[in-house]
Amino acid sequence: MSLRFARLFTATLIGLSATATVLAAGPQLVWRGDITTARGVVTDVAKAWEKAGKGKIELQPFNTASGIDAVAKGSADLAGSARPGIGGAEQSLTFTPVAWDALVMVTYPSNPVSNITIKQLHEIYMGHITNWKELGGNDAPINLYAVASPGDGVEYSLRKLLFGRGNQPVAAPRLYVNVAKLEEGVTLDKQGLGATTLAGVSSNKKVKILSIDGVAPSMSTVSSGTYPLFTELYLVSNESSPKAAEIKEFITFLTSSQGSSLLRSHSLVPYADGASLASKDAARRAAIASTVGTRANVGQAMTTPTVASATPTPAAVEKETAVAKAQVAGKGAKAAKEAKASVATTAEPSQFAKVVASVTTTAHMGFAGVRVEAFTASDNAKTGGRFAKVLADAVTVKGKAVARPIAAAPADAVEKSKAVATPKVAEAKPAAKASKTVAKAAERKPAASRTYKVAQGDTLYSIAKKNAIDVNQLRAMNGLKDNNVRLGQVLNVGAR
């Protein structure tokens, strides 16, 4: 080996060692999470982080649940998620929103359908719309694809918007481990339809992105809030991690001007750029719920049911006292009636005034502030202005406990009146007659039920559609815990 070559070789080794030292300047961080966040948020930012000599990021893209679980157990430092935390072990973790993305529906490029409405999308997922011709397309079945994991960020966020709860069962028999595999399935199926994100498919020419209610998803329509299916993307971390300082530094780097520029290159809106979207979220969810007719889920009561006590409430005592005083004063029945009405107006607030759960109700002032997984509609003529007709499994109304069946409302139920009528004491009297009627009806022989025998190719959703019954009711009537049915199985589908 010549002296010159030896010197060049030595210099090269020194240079490589120096480069390795720069790249290894910081500790290694392990990121694991959904494909959506990997493709749009982390991959390019991780490369820039390493190039700046801040350390190395090991990427393990798979799905949402695996990433969050790894951070909770300490086997990963960061996770990516297209949904917020949903309780359990996730409550101890920190979900930092870093970007806004669009939930998009993709189909085969040659599919003639280019736009669907929120209502149609809801009906597709419920199994009520099953053919593309119902959307103006070809006479062919809709092959709906979904991600199998119930905690998947894309599926959870979309179902939360459409149904008010992220774990809503849907009519999607074709299941995949993540959105990347789902997209591959759609590219091979001319009747395929599935949900993913704009960041994941904005440059994918093998799929067609559908507009929603005439609005195409883009950075512009997401940042303005005109595209209705926008969602937050999160980085998930554990504050008790021994690498907490480095994790915080990486998140700061991601939200810097350099990191934001990389997000925009993937059609993402940096979180700070879409600050107004957070304030629009409640109104957006209320509008979607009103459009699709969100209502209570079978088997899930609005609140813990309680039975009214026989002990008079302070309001009742005050009412009777006022009535007695009016009568003793010799002012007659008219004065007594006025006293009753006056006390009824000042009665204590509704028991439900401070109930908080997950979805906005459309009830009027009697239910102001209620947040539940139920849809309510005014029914002043039957229940009075202070309360609304609650479509759930159980409900407690102030006063006497009256047992009566609660009929399911149609999906497109709306408030018939916005007037808040103060209930009069006289209006409560027919309850006794009503209870007698209910008792007599209970003594009658129950009506025979209609049944349906499961045939080849039937699904729970197709059976519900054939028999004009809600799939949740069908599931509850037959004690089914899921959407599986067996060939030859006999199902109860309602009364004759």
Angle at 24 between CA 22 and CA 27, to 5 degrees: 135
The per-residue pLDDT for 437 is: 52
* Residues 156 and 63 placed together within one structural domain of the fold: no
Decide if pLDDT at 316 tops 90: no
Residue 78 belongs to what H/E stretch? strand 78-81
Task: Confirm whether 357 is domain-assigned.
Answer: yes
CATH of the domain at 473: 3.10.350.10
Task: Confirm whether 242 is domain-assigned.
Answer: yes
CATH of the domain at 216: 3.40.190.10
**pLDDT per residue as tens digits for the range 22-41:** 444 557 999 998 888 888 89
271, 98 Cβ separation under 8 angstroms? yes
The per-residue pLDDT for 467 is: 87
* Residues 365 and 387 placed together within one structural domain of the fold: yes
* Residues 73 and 127 placed together within one structural domain of the fold: no
> HSE on the CB side for 69, CA within 13 Å?
10
Task: Confirm whether 306 is domain-assigned.
Answer: no
* Residues 161 and 18 placed together within one structural domain of the fold: no
* Residues 383 and 461 placed together within one structural domain of the fold: no
Q: In 3D, which of 297, 66, 355, 255 has the Cα closest to residue 169?
A: 297
Task: Confirm whether 301 is domain-assigned.
Answer: no
* Residues 226 and 246 placed together within one structural domain of the fold: no
Task: Confirm whether 346 is domain-assigned.
Answer: yes
Decide if pLDDT at 20 tops 50: no
Write out the residue range of the structural domain in which residue 83 sits: 14-98+235-269
* Residues 319 and 420 placed together within one structural domain of the fold: yes
pTM value surpassing 0.85:
no
Predicted confidence band of residue 299 (pLDDT cuts 50, 70, 90): very low
The per-residue pLDDT for 198 is: 95
The per-residue pLDDT for 438 is: 45
**pLDDT per residue as tens digits for the range 211-240:** 999 999 999 999 999 999 999 999 999 999
* Residues 327 and 248 placed together within one structural domain of the fold: no
Q: What is the DSSP letter of 405?
A: -
Question: Domain count of the chain?
Answer: 4
Task: Confirm whether 218 is domain-assigned.
Answer: yes
* Residues 187 and 140 placed together within one structural domain of the fold: yes
Max alpha carbon distance in the chain (Å)?
127
* Residues 284 and 149 placed together within one structural domain of the fold: yes
* Residues 104 and 87 placed together within one structural domain of the fold: no
> What's CA 358's distance to the chain center, in Å?
9
431, 449 Cβ separation under 8 angstroms? no
* Residues 256 and 338 placed together within one structural domain of the fold: no
Task: Confirm whether 111 is domain-assigned.
Answer: yes
The per-residue pLDDT for 440 is: 53
**pLDDT per residue as tens digits for the range 393-444:** 333 334 444 444 444 444 443 333 334 344 444 444 444 444 455 455 445 5
